[in-house]
Structure 1
């Protein structure tokens, strides 16, 4: 139990180090690919994100969703990539190759859709090489470029706000 606490502290230290370094400026490219990180313990309907991608004129084959669960469950096998705390080592080392591949992908936008204060989820958002990061309120504000103030159950509000702000920023391609 003590080692688990030390491991969490080492991961938090890495997050702070990652966030203290200035990252590249947000560019004016349109969004053509989206990555989504969600906590399946909080919400389990990933179909919402298919609708959001369609609304943003992003092809569904350019949408990648990964899920986190604090408790590994057998029902999570239906996800493309599902991970739990065992997929992380000391100092935030990623042990899962599929998870590392997700982090190395340069998505045009990353949506961090979780409210819980889970160290592993924060680390994934910080490690992602996405060009533009979108999150919801209640999370560390240093992690995201755009923060939508809503709760998890109000997905329609989230969808409308994301569309509104991405339109203002000229990040939605017109078809």
Structure 2
């Protein structure tokens, strides 16, 4: 039990280091790929993100969704890429190959759709190589570039706001 506390403290220190070193660099490129980090303990509607990706003109093969569950073992069976606290080691090390691949993918946009203060979710958001990070209001505002203050259950409002702001920032392709 004591080791778990030390592990959490080392991961928090690693997260703070990542956030302190982060440089926001939003360029003029369009959003052509989308990554989504989802806490299935809070929200598990995969199709909602497919609809959002379709709205902002992301091809299905350019959408990648990973799910996190802190305790629901059944959720891991229904998702292709589901991870849990056991996939993390000390000082931010990651044991899951799919999770490492997700982090290293240079998405044009990343959506962090969770409200709970879960250290592992924050670490994935902070470590992601995405150009622009979009999320719901968190206690640590350094995680995301675009923060949309909505309730988790109001996904249609979140979707509308994401579309609106990406349009304002000229990030949506005019193809099709």
Q: Where on the TM-score scale, by shorter chain, does this alignment land: which range?
A: over 0.9
Aligned to 2:129: 129
Question: CA separation in 1, counterparts of 2:7 and 2:82?
Answer: 21
Q: Normalised by the size of structure 1, how large is the TM-score?
A: 0.97
Alignment size in residue pairs: 175
Cα contact 1:137–1:151 (8 A) shared by 2:
no
Tell me how large the CA RMSD over aligned residues is. Answer: 1.0
For structure 2, the 5+ residue unaligned runs are none
The runs of 4+ residues in structure 1 deviating greater than 2 Å are: none
Counterparts of 2:155 and 2:103, CA distance in 1: 24
Partner of 1:4: 4
Cα separation, 2, equivalents of 1:24 and 1:146: 11
Contact 1:32–1:108 (CA<8 Å) still a contact in 2?
yes
Alignment check: 8 A CA contact 2:32 2:62 kept: yes
TM-score of the two chains, using structure 2 as the length reference: 0.96
Give the match for residue 167 of structure 1. Answer: 167
Distance in structure 2 (CA, Å) of the matches to 1:156 and 1:116: 20
Q: Which runs of 5+ in 1 are unaligned?
A: none
Query: SS of 1:156's equivalent?
Result: helix
Residues 28-67 of structure 1 correspond to what in structure 2 (within 5 A)?
A: 28-67=28-67
Q: Answer whether contact 1:37 1:111 (CA < 8 A) is retained.
A: yes
